[in-house]
Amino acid sequence: MAYFFNETSHTFNEYLLVPGYSSSNCIPSNVSLKTALVKYRKGEAPAITMNIPLTSAIMQSVSGDKLAVALAREGGISFIYGSQSVEDEAAMVARAKSYKAGFVVSDSNLSPEDTLADVIRIKEKNGHSTIAITSDATANGRLLGIVTSRDYRVSRMETSLKVTEFMTPLEKLVTADEDTTLKQANDIIWEHKLNSLPIVDKFGNLKYFVFRKDYDAHKENPNELLDEHKRYVVGAGINTRDYEERVPALIEAGADVLCIDSSEGFSEWQSRTISWIRDRYGDTVKVGAGNVVDGEGFRFLADCGADFVKVGIGGGSICITRETKGIGRGQATALIDVCHARDEYFKETGVYVPVCSDGGIVYDHHMTLALAMGADFLMLGRYFARFDESPTNRVAIGGNYYKEYWGEGSNRARNWQRYDMGGDKKLSFEEGVDSYVPYAGSLKDNVQMSLSKIKSTMCNCGALCLEDFRKKAKLTLVSATSIVEGGAHDVIQKETSLTNIK
């Protein structure tokens, strides 16, 4: 006979936090949201720690290189989607990793014989206003000059004009040799009031640029998540089919952490994938796994060697797995169960395997509830799809702006690898929908607002860090009537009444 869980499966919306005592020290500015991304042994520090508990979903409509940079600036990590060719995903990772390296390899290069039309073209393509002019139009050719937006005016110059006629030549540039440290380079930039400083080798070949804006960006984003080389930390999604080809390419491109992207992770396929990675890279390559919805699934993946485990099946806003296949579990109940298993595993083995809550987040306060229930960090799709930095188009519908958003199991994405069960290489039926989400503006503004709400609630519960929050949080189930009571009710809201006046 089938096994029946006695407890009803609950969602985040069915819970509230009961405030606890908060001292005068419990103010949002004192709250730390730092959290472990990957497993670690008791008494040791994790190899990767995030400054905020947010990651972006492994989805075509969410996680490209632009969003990876924006989220890393805020202290989180984006997992660039894997439902594309190995080469394209590796290129996305490489672009995100090179965006801020302190010393940046130039990806906008021309020769003196190119024209203003080429300058305009390359600026439109890469979005960069500083273009290196080298002898062979490559990133490491002999430096002859640079072109910036101050060197030309499209309205006053013919597009056929050669670059050599308007570039700033080498003899007028301030440069530095390849032994220059980042601190020295920044000092030179400030001393000479430069926007960029070319770094050249002893033969005059261009090696890197150091940009003033990178120094400014660091001061404006104190939480930005950087690796040991001052590059943004970037994640990438993999699958259980082509990992032997995809993993080496992503590691070569600079990916800091990988995650197996699957709708259901309690499988031999994930065990094989993790084993292959461990056999070839040991513990140097960090890889998360999932998704699971109970303690048994968590323990399986933890024993396989997963660096973190994702929780959630069918709870995403565009996911219809529960509807089409009848599998899944309410996200709150699944998360509580898995986090309990994580804590028991830690007691038994001394190894702490972080838990990622993936799906079920509708409102900002659901993030706080997920963290209170034990999640070390969250993976969000719809939330990030709304922002300028997501890869999708912004469209106007009925006078309002929206962003396109589709599931990996939709007919549009056709990410069959995510739902692979060893059969034909195709998506037999849809497990996701194609949709729109209301456009919300920049990632930075929205993330900071969401985090301010999390910090405020943590203070209400007397907690200044996530570890204390999990210990001190008091959660209560609420009735359907209580949910109604919690919103605006029994009033006529002004914006509603005014729109009805003709």
State CA 334 to chain mean position distance: 23
Question: Three-state DSSP class for 95?
Answer: helix
Q: Catalytic one among 259, 339, 418, 459?
A: 418
For 368, residues 6+ apart whose C-beta sits below 8 A from its C-beta are 17, 453, 454, 457, 458
Tokens of 54: 């947010």
Question: Is 418 annotated in the active site?
Answer: yes
Tokens of 15: 């819970």
Alpha-carbon distance of 277 to 239, in angstroms, equals 12
Strands 168-169, 54-56: pairing kind: unpaired
Alpha-carbon distance of 176 to 174, in angstroms, equals 7
For 59, residues 6+ apart whose C-beta sits below 8 A from its C-beta are 81, 381, 385, 407, 408, 413
Tokens of 433: 């929908």
For residue 361, which amino acid is it? I
Alpha-carbon distance of 312 to 375, in angstroms, equals 12
Q: Of 329, 331, 313, 334, give the one whose Cα is nearest residue 267.
A: 313
Question: Is 272 annotated in the active site?
Answer: no
Alpha-carbon distance of 370 to 364, in angstroms, equals 10
**C-alpha R_g of the chain:** 25
Tokens of 424: 């034909």
Strands 77-80, 394-397: pairing kind: unpaired
For residue 163, which amino acid is it? V
Q: Catalytic one among 26, 319, 339, 356?
A: 319
Alpha-carbon distance of 94 to 122, in angstroms, equals 19
Helices 182-192 and 212-220 sit at what angle, rounded to 10 degrees? 100
Question: Three-state DSSP class for 407?
Answer: coil
Q: Of 243, 242, 290, give the one whose Cα is nearest residue 265.
A: 290
Alpha-carbon distance of 258 to 480, in angstroms, equals 40
Alpha-carbon distance of 274 to 303, in angstroms, equals 10
Catalytic residue numbers? 319, 418
